[in-house]
Amino acid sequence: MLTKRENLLETIRGGKPDRFVNQYEAFDIIREDPYTLKYPDPNPGELDVKTGWGVTKTWPRDLPGAFPIHDEAHIVCKDIAAWKDYVKAPPAVYPEEAWEAAVRHAESVDRKEKFAMAFIAPGVFEQCHYLLEIQNCMMAFYEEPEAMHELIDYITDWEIQYAEQICKYMKPDGLFHHDDWGSQISTFISPEMFGEFYLPAYKKIYSCYRENGVELIVHHSDSYAATLVPYMIDMGIDIWQGVMTSNNIPELIQKYGPQISFMGGIDSASIDHPGWTKEEVRREVQRACRECGKLYFIPGASQGLPLSTFEGVYEATSEEIDAVSREMF
């Protein structure tokens, strides 16, 4: 029997997996890095938590994640043309002792069994609209493109500095990076605009991780982003996690399978809700696995961590993936 890590590699390389990769089973996600410890995201039910970038986030209970507050009092960057007056990056370099918890976690990972995964959230696009507010951010691409390029470069430079620290101390062999690039039915910006503004940033960031020993790059975007897959391949993503059913996943696998793999296929909203049932979970898992097949596909809910909004949903999904593996392999 293959280890969880071996089975994942067989799946994404078009080899001979002996079962479906079961959601996040091959990832040990490390979240004890100094930035995360100093500026933790809110937990469910926690309100008004400030990030290192000055963004105020809140997580009302029974919602799927934390979101920034964007009333006039809380928008960080009130004028993109003057972004340097508003946006101040947190430290990207920390003393060695600040990395001790992350190093202990990384060293505890059995790397024959799992990948030791660094974790970054939010990504470059999300950081932009966290700072600006989403509508202001969308308009700024048209009205102040030069300033947007400058802000993206500023965020990217911070990410690269921090990536170098992560790789120096934690020595991860995987990266799990968040950045939602669309709604359920469309990307937030056109593919052409994405290529202009964000492709160069991500090529720099993911190249930095590759050059520092990271073998596996997983990017989370629980959205429609099918039109961005060529850019994902170009920037070096191995697995797009969070891929929703609106993307026509079987078609993407057929077209791009050898170059990138797809993790998801089960929209969280379809199973992770009040009154969820095991029958719903079973139906969605069976559909996803039979539609998408054994290679270049990892079944799981679209949510961007190994958890669920409502208790028991994640575990029930894992049980059903194991069951369909026994049927199909």
Q: What is the mean pLDDT of residues 287-301?
A: 98
Q: What is the pLDDT of residue 285?
A: 98
Q: What is the pLDDT of residue 64?
A: 78
Q: What is the pLDDT of residue 182?
A: 96
Domains of the chain, start order: 4-328 (3.20.20.210)
Q: What is the mean pLDDT of residues 180-191?
A: 96
Mean pLDDT for the chain overall: 97
Tens of pLDDT, residues 161-179? 999 999 999 999 999 999 9
Asked if 28 and 102 count as a contact pair (C-beta separation under 8 A), the reply is: no
Would the pLDDT of 43 be above 90? no
Range with the poorest average pLDDT among 32-36, 46-50, 138-142: 46-50
Q: What is the pLDDT of residue 240?
A: 98
- Which pTM value belongs to this model? 0.97
Tens of pLDDT, residues 264-286? 999 999 999 999 999 999 999 99
Q: What is the mean pLDDT of residues 196-218?
A: 98
Tens of pLDDT, residues 209-248? 999 999 999 999 999 999 999 999 999 999 999 999 999 9
Indicate the pLDDT class of residue 132, thresholds 50, 70 and 90: very high
Q: What is the mean pLDDT of residues 308-321?
A: 96
Would the pLDDT of 7 be above 90? yes
Tens of pLDDT, residues 55-82? 999 988 777 788 899 999 999 999 999 9
Q: What is the mean pLDDT of residues 88-117?
A: 98
Burial of 149 (0-12, 13-18, 19+ CB in 10 A): middle
Q: What is the pLDDT of residue 179?
A: 97
Burial of 207 (0-12, 13-18, 19+ CB in 10 A): middle
Q: What is the pLDDT of residue 66?
A: 86
Indicate the pLDDT class of residue 17, thresholds 50, 70 and 90: very high
Q: What is the pLDDT of residue 303?
A: 94
